[in-house]
Amino acid sequence: MDYKKTKAPVTTITRNLNEIDDETGNIYEAVAIVSKRANQIGSELKEELNRKLEEFASYTDNLEEIFENREQIEISRFYERLPKPTLIAIQEFMDDQIYYRKPEAEEQE
C-alpha cells in the first residue's frame, strides 16, 4: 500500500470510541487489531526507508570522512513528515480497509 497517499491525519485527533468499536463490538479487540496493523505498517516503512538510505551507505572505516548528503537528509525528512503508523492504521480501520478474522469464532461454527 502507498502510505504516502493516505488520508490519515498527521497529528493526533480525538476519536469517538463508539465509532471504533462498532465493527467489532469490543473496544479492546478493535485496539488489538489496529495495533497489529500499526506494527505491520511501521516495519514496512522502516524497511522501505532503510532500502532507500542504503544507497548512500559508506562502508569505509574512516571516521574523519563524514558526509552530509542532501538527498539522504531530504528522504529522512520526508519519512518524518508522514503520519505515524498508528494514525494510518486507525484510518484504515475506520475506512474498513483492514481484513481480520477471529480463529476462535471459526472453530465454534
**Helices and strands in the chain: count of H runs, count of E runs:** 5, 0
Nearest residue to 18 (alpha-carbon basis) of 6, 10, 26: 26
Summarised one tens digit per residue, pLDDT across range 53-96 is: 888 776 665 555 556 678 888 888 999 999 999 999 999 999 99
d(CA 91, CA 94): 5
Domain layout of the chain by residue ranges: 35-109
Summarised one tens digit per residue, pLDDT across range 36-63 is: 999 999 999 999 999 988 887 766 655 5
